[in-house]
Chain A
Amino acid sequence: MSDLRTELKQSIIEQLNLEELELADIENDEPLFGDGLGLDSIDALELIVMLEKDYGIKLTNPDHGKEIFASIDKMAEYIEVNRTK
Protein backbone atom coordinates (compact mmCIF):
# COMPACT_ATOMS: atom_id res chain seq x y z
CA MET A 1 0.00 0.00 0.00
CA SER A 2 1.53 3.29 -1.07
CA ASP A 3 2.05 6.04 1.46
CA LEU A 4 -0.38 8.31 -0.33
CA ARG A 5 -3.19 5.79 -0.08
CA THR A 6 -2.57 5.30 3.61
CA GLU A 7 -2.39 9.04 4.07
CA LEU A 8 -5.68 9.48 2.26
CA LYS A 9 -7.43 6.89 4.37
CA GLN A 10 -6.09 8.50 7.52
CA SER A 11 -7.23 11.94 6.35
CA ILE A 12 -10.65 10.74 5.34
CA ILE A 13 -11.25 9.07 8.68
CA GLU A 14 -10.19 12.22 10.53
CA GLN A 15 -11.70 14.87 8.30
CA LEU A 16 -15.03 13.15 7.87
CA ASN A 17 -15.27 12.02 11.46
CA LEU A 18 -15.57 8.34 10.56
CA GLU A 19 -14.78 7.44 14.14
CA GLU A 20 -15.87 3.86 14.02
CA LEU A 21 -13.64 2.97 11.07
CA GLU A 22 -10.09 1.68 10.99
CA LEU A 23 -7.61 2.09 8.12
CA ALA A 24 -8.01 -1.59 7.32
CA ASP A 25 -11.77 -1.13 6.88
CA ILE A 26 -11.29 0.93 3.72
CA GLU A 27 -10.42 -0.99 0.57
CA ASN A 28 -8.45 0.85 -2.11
CA ASP A 29 -10.99 0.16 -4.82
CA GLU A 30 -14.14 0.27 -2.74
CA PRO A 31 -16.73 2.94 -3.71
CA LEU A 32 -16.60 5.77 -1.21
CA PHE A 33 -20.06 7.13 -1.99
CA GLY A 34 -23.36 5.34 -2.32
CA ASP A 35 -23.15 1.87 -0.81
CA GLY A 36 -19.47 1.77 0.04
CA LEU A 37 -18.64 4.06 2.93
CA GLY A 38 -21.97 5.83 2.60
CA LEU A 39 -20.53 9.30 2.31
CA ASP A 40 -22.91 12.13 1.46
CA SER A 41 -22.88 15.48 -0.30
CA ILE A 42 -21.30 17.34 2.60
CA ASP A 43 -18.53 14.74 2.77
CA ALA A 44 -17.90 15.33 -0.92
CA LEU A 45 -17.51 19.06 -0.26
CA GLU A 46 -15.14 18.33 2.61
CA LEU A 47 -13.02 16.17 0.31
CA ILE A 48 -12.81 19.10 -2.11
CA VAL A 49 -11.55 21.23 0.80
CA MET A 50 -9.04 18.54 1.68
CA LEU A 51 -7.72 18.46 -1.90
CA GLU A 52 -6.99 22.15 -1.67
CA LYS A 53 -5.65 22.24 1.86
CA ASP A 54 -3.39 19.20 1.71
CA TYR A 55 -2.48 18.92 -1.96
CA GLY A 56 -3.00 22.41 -3.33
CA ILE A 57 -5.53 21.26 -5.93
CA LYS A 58 -8.43 23.60 -6.57
CA LEU A 59 -11.39 21.82 -8.01
CA THR A 60 -13.19 24.35 -10.14
CA ASN A 61 -15.89 22.00 -11.33
CA PRO A 62 -17.45 20.16 -8.39
CA ASP A 63 -19.13 17.70 -10.74
CA HIS A 64 -15.70 16.21 -11.40
CA GLY A 65 -15.82 15.20 -7.79
CA LYS A 66 -17.88 12.14 -8.62
CA GLU A 67 -15.14 10.60 -10.74
CA ILE A 68 -12.23 11.70 -8.62
CA PHE A 69 -13.71 10.54 -5.34
CA ALA A 70 -15.01 7.25 -6.68
CA SER A 71 -12.44 5.29 -4.66
CA ILE A 72 -9.13 5.68 -2.81
CA ASP A 73 -7.29 4.47 -5.92
CA LYS A 74 -9.00 7.03 -8.13
CA MET A 75 -8.26 9.80 -5.64
CA ALA A 76 -4.62 8.81 -5.35
CA GLU A 77 -4.22 8.73 -9.15
CA TYR A 78 -5.76 12.18 -9.51
CA ILE A 79 -3.66 13.67 -6.74
CA GLU A 80 -0.41 12.20 -8.04
CA VAL A 81 -0.99 13.94 -11.35
CA ASN A 82 -2.32 17.27 -10.11
CA ARG A 83 -0.80 17.98 -6.75
CA THR A 84 1.04 21.22 -6.19
CA LYS A 85 2.05 20.51 -2.59
Chain B
Amino acid sequence: MKKIYLLEDAIISPLGFSTEENLNAAKNERSGLRFHKNLRFPEGFCAGIIENELLADAFLKIGEATKFTKLEQMMLLAVSRVLEKNPKIDLSKTALIISTTKGNIDLLKESSIPENRVYLSELGKVIKDFFGFQLEPIVISNACISGGLALAVAKRFISAGKFDQAIVVGGDLVSEFVLSGFQSFQAMSTEPCRPFSINRKGINLGEAAAAILLSSIKPEDPNIISLIGEASANDANHISGPSRTGEGLYKSIQNAMREARISAKEIDYLSAHGTATGYNDEMEAIAFTRSGLENVPMNSFKAYYGHTLGASAILESILTKHSLLNDELYTSLNFDEIGVSKPLNVIGSFEKKELRFALKTASGFGGCNLALVLKKEINE
Protein backbone atom coordinates (compact mmCIF):
# COMPACT_ATOMS: atom_id res chain seq x y z
CA MET B 1 0.00 0.00 0.00
CA LYS B 2 1.49 3.30 -1.12
CA LYS B 3 2.02 6.00 1.47
CA ILE B 4 0.71 9.40 0.54
CA TYR B 5 2.73 12.30 1.92
CA LEU B 6 1.53 15.84 2.49
CA LEU B 7 4.40 18.02 1.31
CA GLU B 8 4.76 21.74 0.57
CA ASP B 9 1.76 23.94 1.19
CA ALA B 10 0.59 27.55 1.06
CA ILE B 11 -2.28 29.56 2.48
CA ILE B 12 -3.48 32.85 0.98
CA SER B 13 -5.86 34.53 3.40
CA PRO B 14 -6.55 37.77 5.28
CA LEU B 15 -4.02 36.50 7.84
CA GLY B 16 -1.21 36.38 5.36
CA PHE B 17 0.00 35.17 2.01
CA SER B 18 2.02 32.19 3.23
CA THR B 19 1.56 29.26 5.56
CA GLU B 20 4.12 30.70 7.96
CA GLU B 21 2.22 33.97 8.40
CA ASN B 22 -1.01 32.08 8.94
CA LEU B 23 0.52 29.77 11.56
CA ASN B 24 1.88 32.79 13.36
CA ALA B 25 -1.58 34.33 13.45
CA ALA B 26 -3.13 31.12 14.74
CA LYS B 27 -0.52 30.85 17.48
CA ASN B 28 -1.25 34.42 18.53
CA GLU B 29 -5.02 34.08 18.32
CA ARG B 30 -5.33 36.72 15.59
CA SER B 31 -8.49 36.67 13.55
CA GLY B 32 -9.00 37.81 9.98
CA LEU B 33 -12.69 38.55 10.57
CA ARG B 34 -13.85 42.15 10.28
CA PHE B 35 -17.19 43.89 10.32
CA HIS B 36 -18.31 45.18 6.92
CA LYS B 37 -21.26 47.29 5.78
CA ASN B 38 -22.47 48.23 2.35
CA LEU B 39 -25.63 49.26 0.49
CA ARG B 40 -26.69 45.72 -0.04
CA PHE B 41 -26.12 44.74 3.60
CA PRO B 42 -26.87 47.89 5.59
CA GLU B 43 -27.04 46.00 8.89
CA GLY B 44 -23.55 44.76 8.23
CA PHE B 45 -21.92 41.37 8.31
CA CYS B 46 -18.76 39.86 9.68
CA ALA B 47 -16.39 38.21 7.22
CA GLY B 48 -12.78 37.42 6.43
CA ILE B 49 -11.97 39.35 3.27
CA ILE B 50 -8.63 39.70 1.52
CA GLU B 51 -7.72 43.27 0.62
CA ASN B 52 -7.68 43.57 -3.17
CA GLU B 53 -4.68 45.91 -3.31
CA LEU B 54 -2.53 43.73 -1.08
CA LEU B 55 -3.41 40.75 -3.21
CA ALA B 56 -2.70 42.55 -6.48
CA ASP B 57 0.66 43.75 -5.13
CA ALA B 58 1.67 40.25 -4.19
CA PHE B 59 0.38 38.92 -7.49
CA LEU B 60 2.41 41.42 -9.52
CA LYS B 61 5.49 39.38 -8.69
CA ILE B 62 4.15 36.46 -10.69
CA GLY B 63 1.71 37.87 -13.21
CA GLU B 64 -0.47 40.68 -14.50
CA ALA B 65 -3.27 41.31 -12.01
CA THR B 66 -5.62 42.86 -14.57
CA LYS B 67 -5.79 39.65 -16.56
CA PHE B 68 -7.03 37.54 -13.66
CA THR B 69 -10.02 37.63 -11.38
CA LYS B 70 -9.55 37.98 -7.63
CA LEU B 71 -10.15 34.29 -7.07
CA GLU B 72 -7.68 33.36 -9.80
CA GLN B 73 -5.04 35.62 -8.28
CA MET B 74 -5.55 33.97 -4.90
CA MET B 75 -5.35 30.44 -6.26
CA LEU B 76 -2.45 31.15 -8.61
CA LEU B 77 -0.54 32.75 -5.76
CA ALA B 78 -1.16 29.71 -3.58
CA VAL B 79 0.09 27.29 -6.23
CA SER B 80 3.08 29.48 -7.03
CA ARG B 81 4.14 29.47 -3.37
CA VAL B 82 4.07 25.67 -3.39
CA LEU B 83 6.08 25.51 -6.60
CA GLU B 84 8.63 28.03 -5.27
CA LYS B 85 9.37 25.64 -2.43
CA ASN B 86 9.67 22.78 -4.88
CA PRO B 87 11.51 24.05 -7.96
CA LYS B 88 12.48 20.60 -9.22
CA ILE B 89 8.93 19.40 -9.58
CA ASP B 90 8.05 17.75 -12.91
CA LEU B 91 4.82 19.44 -13.92
CA SER B 92 4.33 17.10 -16.84
CA LYS B 93 3.63 14.29 -14.39
CA THR B 94 1.91 16.27 -11.64
CA ALA B 95 -1.86 16.28 -11.48
CA LEU B 96 -3.77 19.46 -10.71
CA ILE B 97 -6.87 19.05 -8.59
CA ILE B 98 -9.06 22.06 -7.95
CA SER B 99 -11.72 22.59 -5.33
CA THR B 100 -14.27 25.40 -5.37
CA THR B 101 -17.95 25.79 -4.62
CA LYS B 102 -18.78 28.85 -6.69
CA GLY B 103 -15.59 29.80 -8.52
CA ASN B 104 -15.77 33.15 -10.30
CA ILE B 105 -19.46 33.55 -9.50
CA ASP B 106 -19.13 37.31 -9.16
CA LEU B 107 -18.68 37.42 -12.93
CA LEU B 108 -22.38 36.71 -13.28
CA LYS B 109 -23.23 40.33 -12.63
CA GLU B 110 -20.82 42.32 -14.73
CA SER B 111 -17.21 42.38 -15.66
CA SER B 112 -14.60 43.16 -18.24
CA ILE B 113 -13.64 39.50 -18.14
CA PRO B 114 -15.60 37.22 -20.51
CA GLU B 115 -18.54 35.37 -18.98
CA ASN B 116 -17.36 31.90 -19.89
CA ARG B 117 -14.80 32.29 -17.09
CA VAL B 118 -17.73 31.51 -14.79
CA TYR B 119 -17.41 27.89 -15.92
CA LEU B 120 -15.37 26.03 -13.36
CA SER B 121 -13.50 24.11 -16.06
CA GLU B 122 -12.31 27.48 -17.37
CA LEU B 123 -10.91 28.24 -13.93
CA GLY B 124 -9.08 24.94 -14.18
CA LYS B 125 -7.70 25.88 -17.57
CA VAL B 126 -6.49 29.27 -16.33
CA ILE B 127 -4.48 27.63 -13.54
CA LYS B 128 -3.21 24.81 -15.76
CA ASP B 129 -2.02 27.18 -18.49
CA PHE B 130 -0.43 29.67 -16.12
CA PHE B 131 2.00 27.11 -14.78
CA GLY B 132 2.15 24.70 -17.68
CA PHE B 133 0.65 21.60 -16.09
CA GLN B 134 0.26 18.93 -18.74
CA LEU B 135 -2.40 16.70 -17.27
CA GLU B 136 -5.99 17.92 -17.58
CA PRO B 137 -7.10 19.43 -14.26
CA ILE B 138 -9.67 17.63 -12.16
CA VAL B 139 -12.23 20.06 -10.78
CA ILE B 140 -14.36 19.15 -7.79
CA SER B 141 -17.38 21.13 -6.69
CA ASN B 142 -19.07 19.40 -3.80
CA ALA B 143 -20.12 22.11 -1.34
CA CYS B 144 -18.07 22.68 1.79
CA ILE B 145 -16.30 19.32 1.73
CA SER B 146 -14.84 20.00 -1.73
CA GLY B 147 -11.36 20.68 -0.40
CA GLY B 148 -11.16 17.53 1.70
CA LEU B 149 -12.70 15.51 -1.10
CA ALA B 150 -10.04 16.86 -3.45
CA LEU B 151 -7.36 15.59 -1.04
CA ALA B 152 -9.13 12.22 -0.89
CA VAL B 153 -9.41 12.00 -4.67
CA ALA B 154 -5.70 12.84 -4.98
CA LYS B 155 -4.82 10.11 -2.51
CA ARG B 156 -7.08 7.57 -4.21
CA PHE B 157 -5.69 8.25 -7.67
CA ILE B 158 -2.08 8.29 -6.47
CA SER B 159 -2.63 4.98 -4.68
CA ALA B 160 -4.10 3.53 -7.86
CA GLY B 161 -1.09 4.70 -9.84
CA LYS B 162 -2.91 7.18 -12.06
CA PHE B 163 -0.16 9.67 -11.17
CA ASP B 164 2.60 9.94 -8.53
CA GLN B 165 1.84 13.36 -7.22
CA ALA B 166 -0.76 16.08 -7.31
CA ILE B 167 -1.12 19.71 -6.38
CA VAL B 168 -4.47 20.27 -4.77
CA VAL B 169 -5.67 23.87 -4.65
CA GLY B 170 -8.93 25.21 -3.29
CA GLY B 171 -10.45 28.67 -3.22
CA ASP B 172 -13.65 30.64 -2.85
CA LEU B 173 -14.67 34.29 -2.53
CA VAL B 174 -16.89 36.19 -0.17
CA SER B 175 -19.34 37.16 -2.88
CA GLU B 176 -22.65 38.98 -2.71
CA PHE B 177 -24.09 35.89 -4.34
CA VAL B 178 -23.23 33.72 -1.36
CA LEU B 179 -23.74 36.41 1.29
CA SER B 180 -27.27 37.07 0.11
CA GLY B 181 -27.99 33.36 0.07
CA PHE B 182 -26.81 32.70 3.61
CA GLN B 183 -28.64 35.80 4.75
CA SER B 184 -31.88 34.38 3.35
CA PHE B 185 -31.12 31.30 5.44
CA GLN B 186 -30.84 33.55 8.49
CA ALA B 187 -27.65 31.63 9.11
CA MET B 188 -25.16 34.49 9.35
CA SER B 189 -23.99 36.24 12.48
CA THR B 190 -23.22 39.96 12.48
CA GLU B 191 -20.58 39.23 15.13
CA PRO B 192 -17.46 37.08 14.93
CA CYS B 193 -18.69 33.49 15.03
CA ARG B 194 -18.48 31.30 18.11
CA PRO B 195 -18.10 27.64 17.15
CA PHE B 196 -19.51 25.13 19.64
CA SER B 197 -20.41 27.94 22.04
CA ILE B 198 -23.62 28.49 23.90
CA ASN B 199 -23.82 31.99 22.40
CA ARG B 200 -23.20 31.02 18.80
CA LYS B 201 -25.43 32.88 16.39
CA GLY B 202 -24.39 31.64 12.98
CA ILE B 203 -21.61 31.61 10.45
CA ASN B 204 -19.26 34.20 9.08
CA LEU B 205 -18.08 33.81 5.51
CA GLY B 206 -14.46 34.01 4.52
CA GLU B 207 -12.33 33.96 1.41
CA ALA B 208 -9.05 32.17 1.00
CA ALA B 209 -7.02 29.94 -1.26
CA ALA B 210 -4.89 27.05 -0.11
CA ALA B 211 -2.64 24.67 -2.00
CA ILE B 212 -0.70 21.56 -1.07
CA LEU B 213 1.45 18.97 -2.81
CA LEU B 214 0.61 15.31 -2.26
CA SER B 215 3.10 12.66 -3.29
CA SER B 216 3.87 8.98 -3.03
CA ILE B 217 7.56 9.77 -3.34
CA LYS B 218 9.11 9.71 0.10
CA PRO B 219 10.90 12.98 0.87
CA GLU B 220 14.29 13.25 2.55
CA ASP B 221 12.99 15.20 5.49
CA PRO B 222 12.17 12.67 8.22
CA ASN B 223 9.52 14.94 9.75
CA ILE B 224 6.64 14.32 7.49
CA ILE B 225 2.88 13.97 7.60
CA SER B 226 1.02 11.32 5.66
CA LEU B 227 -2.66 10.98 4.80
CA ILE B 228 -3.52 7.50 5.98
CA GLY B 229 -7.29 7.40 5.91
CA GLU B 230 -10.19 9.16 4.32
CA ALA B 231 -13.88 8.54 3.74
CA SER B 232 -17.04 10.38 2.90
CA ALA B 233 -20.70 9.51 3.36
CA ASN B 234 -24.01 11.23 2.72
CA ASP B 235 -26.53 11.67 5.55
CA ALA B 236 -29.47 10.92 3.24
CA ASN B 237 -31.50 13.17 5.50
CA HIS B 238 -31.97 16.72 4.21
CA ILE B 239 -30.28 18.87 1.59
CA SER B 240 -29.45 21.76 3.89
CA GLY B 241 -29.92 20.54 7.44
CA PRO B 242 -27.49 18.00 8.86
CA SER B 243 -28.67 14.63 10.17
CA ARG B 244 -29.76 14.88 13.80
CA THR B 245 -27.80 11.73 14.62
CA GLY B 246 -24.75 12.80 12.65
CA GLU B 247 -25.10 9.67 10.56
CA GLY B 248 -22.98 10.58 7.56
CA LEU B 249 -20.22 12.18 9.62
CA TYR B 250 -20.13 9.27 12.05
CA LYS B 251 -19.85 6.86 9.16
CA SER B 252 -17.11 8.88 7.49
CA ILE B 253 -15.12 8.97 10.72
CA GLN B 254 -15.50 5.22 11.28
CA ASN B 255 -14.49 4.36 7.74
CA ALA B 256 -11.54 6.74 7.73
CA MET B 257 -10.24 5.37 11.04
CA ARG B 258 -10.75 1.83 9.79
CA GLU B 259 -8.68 2.52 6.70
CA ALA B 260 -6.04 4.18 8.87
CA ARG B 261 -6.11 1.17 11.23
CA ILE B 262 -6.36 3.30 14.32
CA SER B 263 -8.94 3.67 17.04
CA ALA B 264 -10.45 6.80 18.59
CA LYS B 265 -8.12 6.43 21.58
CA GLU B 266 -5.13 7.10 19.34
CA ILE B 267 -6.38 10.38 17.93
CA ASP B 268 -4.45 13.24 19.54
CA TYR B 269 -6.21 16.16 17.90
CA LEU B 270 -9.52 16.76 16.14
CA SER B 271 -9.90 19.62 13.68
CA ALA B 272 -13.65 20.04 13.32
CA HIS B 273 -15.78 21.85 10.77
CA GLY B 274 -17.46 23.99 13.45
CA THR B 275 -19.31 26.58 11.39
CA ALA B 276 -21.10 27.98 14.48
CA THR B 277 -24.65 27.36 13.32
CA GLY B 278 -27.00 25.82 15.83
CA TYR B 279 -27.46 22.63 13.86
CA ASN B 280 -24.00 21.99 12.46
CA ASP B 281 -22.09 22.19 15.70
CA GLU B 282 -24.70 20.08 17.51
CA MET B 283 -24.57 17.41 14.80
CA GLU B 284 -20.78 17.31 14.94
CA ALA B 285 -20.83 16.97 18.72
CA ILE B 286 -23.14 13.98 18.39
CA ALA B 287 -21.04 12.34 15.69
CA PHE B 288 -17.83 12.93 17.67
CA THR B 289 -19.18 11.46 20.90
CA ARG B 290 -20.66 8.49 19.03
CA SER B 291 -17.15 7.93 17.73
CA GLY B 292 -15.60 8.09 21.20
CA LEU B 293 -13.80 11.38 20.53
CA GLU B 294 -15.25 13.48 23.37
CA ASN B 295 -11.91 13.78 25.18
CA VAL B 296 -9.79 14.59 22.17
CA PRO B 297 -8.52 18.19 22.12
CA MET B 298 -10.46 19.83 19.35
CA ASN B 299 -11.03 23.18 17.68
CA SER B 300 -12.66 24.94 14.78
CA PHE B 301 -10.75 27.45 12.66
CA LYS B 302 -13.86 29.28 11.51
CA ALA B 303 -13.38 32.16 13.97
CA TYR B 304 -9.97 32.90 12.44
CA TYR B 305 -11.06 32.88 8.81
CA GLY B 306 -14.80 32.57 8.55
CA HIS B 307 -16.13 29.73 6.47
CA THR B 308 -13.98 29.62 3.35
CA LEU B 309 -16.17 27.06 1.57
CA GLY B 310 -14.13 25.35 -1.18
CA ALA B 311 -10.86 26.34 0.47
CA SER B 312 -11.85 25.45 4.02
CA ALA B 313 -11.01 21.77 4.23
CA ILE B 314 -7.65 22.25 2.51
CA LEU B 315 -6.72 25.35 4.52
CA GLU B 316 -7.70 23.67 7.77
CA SER B 317 -5.94 20.42 6.82
CA ILE B 318 -2.76 22.42 6.27
CA LEU B 319 -3.10 23.95 9.74
CA THR B 320 -3.79 20.47 11.12
CA LYS B 321 -0.68 19.15 9.39
CA HIS B 322 1.48 21.85 10.98
CA SER B 323 -0.15 21.33 14.33
CA LEU B 324 1.13 17.77 14.17
CA LEU B 325 4.58 18.74 12.89
CA ASN B 326 5.08 21.40 15.55
CA ASP B 327 3.29 19.59 18.39
CA GLU B 328 1.05 22.61 18.80
CA LEU B 329 -2.64 22.90 19.55
CA TYR B 330 -4.26 26.15 18.42
CA THR B 331 -7.03 27.84 20.36
CA SER B 332 -10.57 27.34 19.21
CA LEU B 333 -11.09 31.07 18.88
CA ASN B 334 -14.19 32.78 20.30
CA PHE B 335 -15.23 29.78 22.33
CA ASP B 336 -16.90 30.81 25.57
CA GLU B 337 -18.98 28.03 27.10
CA ILE B 338 -19.99 24.70 25.65
CA GLY B 339 -23.25 25.08 23.78
CA VAL B 340 -23.86 21.60 22.43
CA SER B 341 -25.63 18.73 24.13
CA LYS B 342 -22.55 16.49 24.25
CA PRO B 343 -19.26 17.04 26.07
CA LEU B 344 -16.29 18.11 23.97
CA ASN B 345 -12.70 18.97 24.83
CA VAL B 346 -12.45 22.38 23.17
CA ILE B 347 -8.94 23.87 23.10
CA GLY B 348 -9.23 26.97 25.25
CA SER B 349 -5.76 28.36 24.73
CA PHE B 350 -2.61 27.64 22.76
CA GLU B 351 -0.57 24.75 24.10
CA LYS B 352 2.36 22.57 23.18
CA LYS B 353 1.63 18.86 23.23
CA GLU B 354 3.10 15.75 21.69
CA LEU B 355 0.87 14.79 18.80
CA ARG B 356 0.92 11.86 16.39
CA PHE B 357 -2.51 11.35 14.80
CA ALA B 358 -5.10 13.93 13.84
CA LEU B 359 -8.61 13.72 12.45
CA LYS B 360 -9.98 16.45 10.18
CA THR B 361 -13.70 16.56 9.44
CA ALA B 362 -15.94 18.58 7.16
CA SER B 363 -19.64 18.67 6.34
CA GLY B 364 -21.63 20.47 3.69
CA PHE B 365 -24.91 21.22 1.96
CA GLY B 366 -26.39 18.26 0.18
CA GLY B 367 -25.81 16.11 3.25
CA CYS B 368 -22.16 15.43 2.47
CA ASN B 369 -19.54 14.64 5.11
CA LEU B 370 -15.88 13.81 5.10
CA ALA B 371 -13.15 12.63 7.46
CA LEU B 372 -9.38 12.57 6.97
CA VAL B 373 -6.76 10.91 9.19
CA LEU B 374 -3.30 12.48 9.26
CA LYS B 375 -0.23 10.83 10.77
CA LYS B 376 3.13 12.19 11.78
CA GLU B 377 5.70 9.77 10.43
CA ILE B 378 8.50 9.34 12.89
CA ASN B 379 11.51 7.88 11.17
CA GLU B 380 13.21 5.38 13.35
Tell me, yes or no, whether A and B come into direct contact in the complex with CB atoms closer than 8 A: yes
Q: Which residues of B contact A45 (CB under 8 A)?
A: 184-186
Write the chain A residue with the least CB distance to B241.
A41
10 new A-B contacts at CB < 8 Å, known A40-B241, A45-B184: A40-B238, A41-B238, A41-B240, A41-B241, A42-B240, A45-B185, A45-B186, A48-B186, A49-B184, A62-B186
Q: Which residues of B contact A48 (CB under 8 A)?
A: 186
For the complex formed, measure the closest distance between the CB of B231 and the CB atoms of chain A, giving whole angstroms. 27
For the complex formed, measure the closest distance between the CB of B248 and the CB atoms of chain A, giving whole angstroms. 17
Write the chain B residue with the least CB distance to A48.
B186
For the complex formed, measure the closest distance between the CB of B318 and the CB atoms of chain A, giving whole angstroms. 33
For the complex formed, measure the closest distance between the CB of A14 and the CB atoms of chain B, giving whole angstroms. 18
For the complex formed, measure the closest distance between the CB of A17 and the CB atoms of chain B, giving whole angstroms. 14
Give the docked Cα–Cα distance between A41 and B185 (Å). 9
Q: Which residues of A contact B184 (CB under 8 A)?
A: 45, 49
Interface residues of A (CB under 8 A from B): 40-42, 45, 48-49, 62
Interface hub of B185, B186, B238 (most chain A Cβ within 10 A): B186
Q: Which residues of A contact B238 (CB under 8 A)?
A: 40-41
For the complex formed, measure the closest distance between the CB of A56 and the CB atoms of chain B, giving whole angstroms. 17
> Interface size bucket, B side?
under 10
Give the docked Cα–Cα distance between A48 and B186 (Å). 10
Write the chain B residue with the least CB distance to A49.
B184
Q: Which residues of A contact B186 (CB under 8 A)?
A: 45, 48, 62
Give the docked Cα–Cα distance between A42 and B240 (Å). 8
Give the docked Cα–Cα distance between A13 and B210 (Å). 44
Query: Within B152-198, which residues are at the interface with A (CB < 8 Å)?
Result: 184-186
Q: Which residues of B contact A41 (CB under 8 A)?
A: 238, 240-241
Q: Chain B 203-231 against A: per-residue CB contact (8 Å), 1 yes, 0 no? A: 00000000000000000000000000000
Give the docked Cα–Cα distance between A41 and B241 (Å). 8
For the complex formed, measure the closest distance between the CB of A62 and the CB atoms of chain B, giving whole angstroms. 5
Can you list 12 contacts pairing A with B, beta carbon distance less than 8 Å?
A: A40-B238, A40-B241, A41-B238, A41-B240, A41-B241, A42-B240, A45-B184, A45-B185, A45-B186, A48-B186, A49-B184, A62-B186
* The 10 A-B residue pairs with the shortest CB-CB distance in the complex, in nearest-first order: A62-B186, A41-B241, A42-B240, A45-B185, A45-B184, A45-B186, A40-B238, A49-B184, A41-B240, A48-B186
Q: Which residues of B contact A62 (CB under 8 A)?
A: 186
Give the docked Cα–Cα distance between A36 and B53 (Å). 54
Write the chain A residue with the least CB distance to B186.
A62
Q: Which residues of A contact B240 (CB under 8 A)?
A: 41-42
Give the docked Cα–Cα distance between A45 and B240 (Å). 12
Give the docked Cα–Cα distance between A62 and B185 (Å). 10
Q: Which residues of B contact A49 (CB under 8 A)?
A: 184
Q: Chain B 228-265 against A: per-residue CB contact (8 Å), 1 yes, 0 no? A: 00000000001011000000000000000000000000
Q: Which residues of B contact A40 (CB under 8 A)?
A: 238, 241
Give the docked Cα–Cα distance between A48 and B240 (Å). 17
Q: Which residues of A contact B185 (CB under 8 A)?
A: 45
Give the docked Cα–Cα distance between A3 and B369 (Å). 46
Give the docked Cα–Cα distance between A62 and B238 (Å). 20
Give the docked Cα–Cα distance between A62 and B240 (Å). 17
Write the chain A residue with the least CB distance to B279.
A41
Query: Within B287-341, which residues are at the interface with A (CB < 8 Å)?
Result: none
Q: Which residues of A contact B241 (CB under 8 A)?
A: 40-41
For the complex formed, measure the closest distance between the CB of B216 and the CB atoms of chain A, giving whole angstroms. 43
Give the docked Cα–Cα distance between A76 and B347 (Å). 48
Write the chain A residue with the least CB distance to B185.
A45
For the complex formed, measure the closest distance between the CB of A59 and the CB atoms of chain B, giving whole angstroms. 9
Write the chain A residue with the least CB distance to B240.
A42
Give the docked Cα–Cα distance between A62 and B189 (Å). 13
For the complex formed, measure the closest distance between the CB of A51 and the CB atoms of chain B, giving whole angstroms. 13
Give the docked Cα–Cα distance between A42 and B184 (Å). 10
For the complex formed, measure the closest distance between the CB of A23 and the CB atoms of chain B, giving whole angstroms. 27
Give the docked Cα–Cα distance between A29 and B376 (Å). 61
Give the docked Cα–Cα distance between A49 and B185 (Å). 10
For the complex formed, measure the closest distance between the CB of A33 and the CB atoms of chain B, giving whole angstroms. 13
Write the chain B residue with the least CB distance to A44.
B186
Give the docked Cα–Cα distance between A67 and B77 (Å). 50
For the complex formed, measure the closest distance between the CB of A39 and the CB atoms of chain B, giving whole angstroms. 12
Write the chain A residue with the least CB distance to B238.
A40
